[in-house]
Amino acid sequence: MPQCILNIALDTPLNACFDYRWPCADGARPQVGQLALVPFGRREVVGLIVGVADTSTVPADKLKDALAVRGQLAPLSPQWLALAGFAADYYQRPLGEVALPGLPKNLRVLTTVALDRAIKKLAKDASVHDGTPLDMPRLNEAQQRAADAIGGARGFAPTLLYGVTGSGKTEVYLQACAQVLAREADGQILILVPEINLTPQLEGNIRARFPGVMLATLHSSLSEGERMLHWLAAHEGKARIVLGTRLAILASLPHLQLIVIDEEHDPSYKQQEGLRYSARDLAVWRAWQLGIPIVLGSATPSLESWHHAQSGRYRKLELRERAVKNAVLPRVKLLDMERDRPKDGLTSHLVAALKLRMERGEQSLLFLNRRGYSPVICCESCGWISNCTRCTSFMVLHKPEHRLRCHHCSLELRIPRHCPTCGNVDLQPLGRGTQRVEEGLQQLFPEARILRIDADSTRRKGSAQAAFDSVHRGEVDILIGTQMVAKGHDFKKLTLVGILNPDTALFSQDYRASERLFAQLMQVAGRAGRAAQSEGGSVSEVLIQTRYARHPLYDAVVNHDYDHFAGALLEERAQAALPPYLFQALLRAEAPELATAIAFLQAAQACLAHPAITINDPIPMSMTRVHNVDRAQLLVESASRPALQAFLKEWLAALRDMKSRVKWSLEVDPLDI
Ligand SMILES: [Zn+2]
Ligand SMILES: [Zn+2]
């Protein structure tokens, strides 16, 4: 029987391609990019064929047979394999660990029942594949120019679409998409968005606009069956528009012609565990590899993208005005909490503004990025506070559930009846979360319809969507929420945004904190006044309660002045030699004792030197202990990306050889340091 050797990538942390034997009758060989079921240890697993050969360097008696090849699925394209290969290389992970988790779970199980079902279902689908759009609204001049530039671009053309909130970036994307769909007979488009809770609105818009085009969504709240079907629709080229969150960047799209990244500055494009990739950065690489245009849109671009736009690497398109006629940017005002002392967390000025909106039947939004009732409870007689026993953090009071919860290790306790140290029964909440603000509002405005939206109020599947729908239907007077409410939503009746307590981020040790705070404030401010101002209606306002009213960051927010602010930040970064002028990687280690983690990092620091690389001293992470594990980190820096990449490769090999029991991981281009 003629046979061949399959080199197969498996999802294992070790380096990770193995040879298997496969009988090929009639000379028909499996192809690179197909999936195969193979024995591995005592298990059977699905791997990805990355090589087919006649011989193996593994001795014949050690070779095992592959069990099955998933012949019903078209092979993943060489371009897709190259993308996975690049990600593996760049983020210093084995190929199998990148390529396989990016596939639907149902493709990686022992049976092909789910795959066969999805194939059958798709075969029945008689999509018309007609890209003719319906009801294209007229664009303003700046929008039209942007849509034409993006839709008409050929070859690798990265574009930064810098448009103020409410300037109609979505409409620009849709019309650029229409041009691409009309021009490229099979062309596919990938649209990435940061949050799942933004997808339904955009999904509806796309479906309404392109009724003849199959749209597939890819995000983490799909069922496995849906995910299989949608992934397959993209892989077979049937879905011409794929809309997804960061994981969709690894979708198989054989006819990809355009990539759109909405809110490109958003930190959620960065995966924060396992393969810590940046979907935005991978998207730019993917566009470059395929020689296709990519557009990165934002009202507050990341400094990395802004830097590229300034240096001419990206083309910059600007939308400086709101798209809706007579809709203007809200007036931003600072409320000095030193002068106007807040009661129940609200200054008298903010209360008056809320009252005015109530009287006029307009909506208000209060933004506080802290969920729970209060971040800590304390005993005023002995000074006890509700620390988490497992983490360097506090137990947060959740009053409606009568619980203390640690947001880092999920430890949950009943609220103690008395102080565990001195027995005092009068324990006090300290500080203010969304639940407490909600309670205060209910007392202030007993007649108001108040809705809180945060991770606690939206645990059930679909509840976030239901909550947002009720805001859109006008059933809510005052909305209070965390960053969940800050992004994307287009609340037509909203004319007031109040921002509570943003000051803490001003003094963070993280050099990215001010960039993030600015983006967040501009995003949430941008929820106000998106519709045309009605006769006699309120001027839309954003009120920021602060103790540091003279801080330059607030100055920039008041003036809607991203350009100037970004310019100043970039100058600071250049002077301090920080990204984007420097490239970084972070080695993290965790152990039951801090000393163990530090000792490992010291050994790592000493084991390899390179003239173009700076290896900083190990330090404990700012939140050192989580779930009874101590964590430390070591920052590696270089002015040269290739030098850093070359160093990391060699360094990782040395670290693996150390065979330490300490759990460690490496992150390239870390966001949180
Ligand atoms: Zn006490
Ligand atoms: Zn904890």
pLDDT in tens, 612-653: 999 999 999 999 999 999 999 999 999 999 999 999 999 999
Ligand 1 centroid from CA 425, angstroms: 8
pLDDT band at 273 (very low <50, low <70, confident <90, very high): confident
Ligand 2 centroid from CA 271, angstroms: 22
Q: Would the pLDDT of 673 be above 90?
A: no
Backbone angles phi, psi at 259, to 5 degrees: -120, 135
Pairing label, strands 541-546, 331-336: parallel
143 Cβ contact partners less than 8 Å away, ≥ 6 residues apart:
167, 168, 171, 172, 175, 319, 323
Q: Would the pLDDT of 535 be above 70?
A: no
Q: What pLDDT is recorded for position 127?
A: 65
CB 653 within 8 A of CB 659: no
Ligand 1 centroid from CA 427, angstroms: 8
Encoding tokens for residue 382? 């002995």
Q: What pLDDT is recorded for position 16?
A: 74
Query: 244: which strand partners?
Result: 192, 218
Closest ligand to residue 426's CA:
1
Q: What pLDDT is recorded for position 447?
A: 96
Q: What pLDDT is recorded for position 642?
A: 96
pLDDT band at 274 (very low <50, low <70, confident <90, very high): confident
Q: Return d(Cα 507, Cα 501) in angstroms, integer.
A: 13
Ligand 2 centroid from CA 504, angstroms: 21
Q: Would the pLDDT of 101 be above 80?
A: yes
434 Cβ contact partners less than 8 Å away, ≥ 6 residues apart:
368, 370, 371, 372, 452, 454, 480, 481, 482
Closest ligand to residue 409's CA:
2
Q: Would the pLDDT of 126 be above 70?
A: no
pLDDT, average across residues 583-608: 96
Query: What is the residue whose two structure tokens read 């820096």?
Result: 637
Q: What pLDDT is recorded for position 508?
A: 85
Ligand 2 centroid from CA 279, angstroms: 30
Conformational region of residue 370, where left means phi above 0, alpha means psi within -120 to 50, and beta covers everything else? beta
Q: What pLDDT is recorded for position 150?
A: 97
Residue 213's identity, in one-letter code, is: V
CB 287 within 8 A of CB 323: no
Q: Would the pLDDT of 558 be above 80?
A: yes
Q: What pLDDT is recorded for position 230?
A: 97
Closest ligand to residue 385's CA:
1
Q: What pLDDT is recorded for position 221?
A: 85
pLDDT band at 25 (very low <50, low <70, confident <90, very high): confident
- Degrees (nearest 5) of the Cα angle 548, 551, 555? 120
Lowest-confidence pick of 100-114, 186-200, 470-484: 186-200
Topology, domain 583-668: Alpha-Beta Plaits (3.30.70)
379 is in an annotated binding site: yes
Query: CA nearest 578: which of 223, 328, 304?
Result: 304
Q: What pLDDT is recorded for position 1?
A: 73
Kindly state the helix (H) or strand (E) to which residue 52 belongs, with its residue range. strand 43-53
Ligand 1 centroid from CA 435, angstroms: 25
Q: Return d(Cα 119, Cα 232) in angstroms, integer.
A: 8
Ligand 2 centroid from CA 369, angstroms: 19
Ligand 1 centroid from CA 177, angstroms: 63
Kindly state the helix (H) or strand (E) to which residue 472 belongs, with its residue range. helix 463-472
Surface-to-core class of residue 319, CB atoms within 10 Å of its CB (0-12 exposed, 13-18 middle, 19+ buried)? buried
Q: Would the pLDDT of 531 be above 80?
A: no
State the first-to-last Cα distance of the chain, in angstroms, to the nearest integer: 57
Closest ligand to residue 382's CA:
1
Query: CA nearest 612: which of 580, 636, 588, 587?
Result: 636
Q: What pLDDT is recorded for position 166?
A: 86
Q: Return d(Cα 218, Cα 227) in angstroms, integer.
A: 7
pLDDT, average across residues 16-38: 89
Q: What pLDDT is recorded for position 616?
A: 96
391 is in an annotated binding site: yes
388 is in an annotated binding site: yes
Closest ligand to residue 424's CA:
1
Lowest-confidence pick of 264-273, 286-295, 505-514: 505-514
Q: What pLDDT is recorded for position 129?
A: 66
pLDDT, average across residues 207-236: 94
Q: What pLDDT is recorded for position 450?
A: 98
Ligand 2 centroid from CA 220, angstroms: 25
pLDDT, average across residues 191-209: 86
Domain boundaries 141-319, CATH class: alpha beta
528 Cβ contact partners less than 8 Å away, ≥ 6 residues apart:
330, 365, 494, 495, 496, 497, 540, 541, 542
Q: What pLDDT is recorded for position 619?
A: 97
Residue 5's identity, in one-letter code, is: I
Pairing label, strands 427-430, 376-379: antiparallel
pLDDT band at 48 (very low <50, low <70, confident <90, very high): very high
pLDDT, average across residues 408-425: 95
Backbone angles phi, psi at 20, to 5 degrees: -135, 155
Q: What pLDDT is recorded for position 534?
A: 66
Ligand 2 centroid from CA 458, angstroms: 22
Q: What pLDDT is recorded for position 219?
A: 92
Closest ligand to residue 392's CA:
2
Closest ligand to residue 394's CA:
2
Ligand 1 centroid from CA 629, angstroms: 28
Average pLDDT, the chain: 93
Percent of the chain with pLDDT over 70: 98
Q: Where are the domains of the chain?
A: 3-78+85-101, 141-319, 331-371+433-571, 583-668
Ligand 2 centroid from CA 600, angstroms: 24
419 is in an annotated binding site: yes
Ligand 2 centroid from CA 431, angstroms: 19
Ligand 1 centroid from CA 383, angstroms: 6
Residue 556, SS3? helix
Same CATH topology for 141-319 and 583-668: the answer is no
Q: Would the pLDDT of 601 be above 70?
A: yes
Q: What pLDDT is recorded for position 419?
A: 96
Ligand 1 centroid from CA 402, angstroms: 20
Q: Would the pLDDT of 130 be above 80?
A: no
Closest ligand to residue 420's CA:
1
In sequence order, what DSSP letters do the residues of 237-262 get, joined into one string?
A: T--SEEEESGGGGG---TTEEEEEET
Query: CA nearest 45: which of 6, 10, 72, 1?
Result: 10
Encoding tokens for residue 416? 């103690």
Backbone angles phi, psi at 39, to 5 degrees: -80, 140
Encoding tokens for residue 177? 């998409």
In sequence order, what DSSP letters do the residues of 500-539 get, joined into one string?
A: ---GGGGG-SSTTHHHHHHHHHHHHHTTTT-SPPPTTPPP
pLDDT, average across residues 73-81: 97
Closest ligand to residue 391's CA:
2
Ligand 1 centroid from CA 597, angstroms: 34
Q: Return d(Cα 175, Cα 163) in angstroms, integer.
A: 16
Ligand 1 centroid from CA 438, angstroms: 28
pLDDT, average across residues 408-432: 95
Encoding tokens for residue 435? 């639940």
Q: How many separate helices (H) and strands (E) can be counted in the chain?
A: 17, 29
Residue 340: C-alpha distances to residues 50, 249, 345, 357, 557 (Å): 66, 48, 11, 20, 20
Closest ligand to residue 377's CA:
1
Residue 54: C-alpha distances to residues 1, 51, 174, 207 (Å): 13, 10, 49, 49
Query: 498: which strand partners?
Result: 366, 543
Q: Tell me which of 3.40.630.30, 3.40.50.720, 3.40.1440.60, 2.60.40.1180 is the CATH number of domain 3-78+85-101.
A: 3.40.1440.60
Topology, domain 331-371+433-571: Rossmann fold (3.40.50)
pLDDT, average across residues 354-369: 95
Ligand 1 centroid from CA 392, angstroms: 20
Q: What pLDDT is recorded for position 522?
A: 92
Using only C-alpha atoms, the chain has a radius of gyration, in whole angstroms, of 27
Query: CA nearest 161: which of 270, 329, 294?
Result: 294
Closest ligand to residue 625's CA:
2
The protein residues having their C-beta less than 5 angstroms from ligand 1 (an ion) are 379, 382, 384, 419, 421-422, 424
Q: Would the pLDDT of 27 be above 80?
A: no
Query: CA nearest 176: which of 290, 71, 295, 256?
Result: 295
CB 265 within 8 A of CB 298: yes
Q: Is the Cα torsion angle 395, 445, 500, 467 positive or negative in sign?
A: positive
Ligand 1 centroid from CA 378, angstroms: 8
Ligand 1 centroid from CA 443, angstroms: 29
Closest ligand to residue 428's CA:
1
Lowest-confidence pick of 121-135, 159-173, 279-293: 121-135
Q: What pLDDT is recorded for position 489?
A: 80
Query: Angle at which helices 562-576 and 513-525 pack, to 10 degrees?
Result: 170
pLDDT, average across residues 588-617: 96
pLDDT band at 329 (very low <50, low <70, confident <90, very high): confident
- Per-residue HEC secondary structure of 158-192 comes to EEEEEECCCCCHHHHHHHHHHHHHHHCCCCEEEEE
Query: Angle at which helices 224-235 and 113-124 pack, to 10 degrees?
Result: 60
607 is in an annotated binding site: no
Q: What pLDDT is recorded for position 128?
A: 60
pLDDT by residue (tens digit) across 472-530?
Answer: 999 999 999 998 888 778 888 999 999 998 998 888 888 899 999 999 999 999 888 87
CB 10 within 8 A of CB 18: yes
Query: What is the residue whose two structure tokens read 């506090």?
Result: 394
Query: What is the residue whose two structure tokens read 């102080």?
Result: 419
Ligand 1 centroid from CA 394, angstroms: 16
Q: What pLDDT is recorded for position 549?
A: 93
Surface-to-core class of residue 13, CB atoms within 10 Å of its CB (0-12 exposed, 13-18 middle, 19+ buried)? exposed
- Degrees (nearest 5) of the Cα angle 529, 530, 531? 95
Ligand 1 centroid from CA 426, angstroms: 9
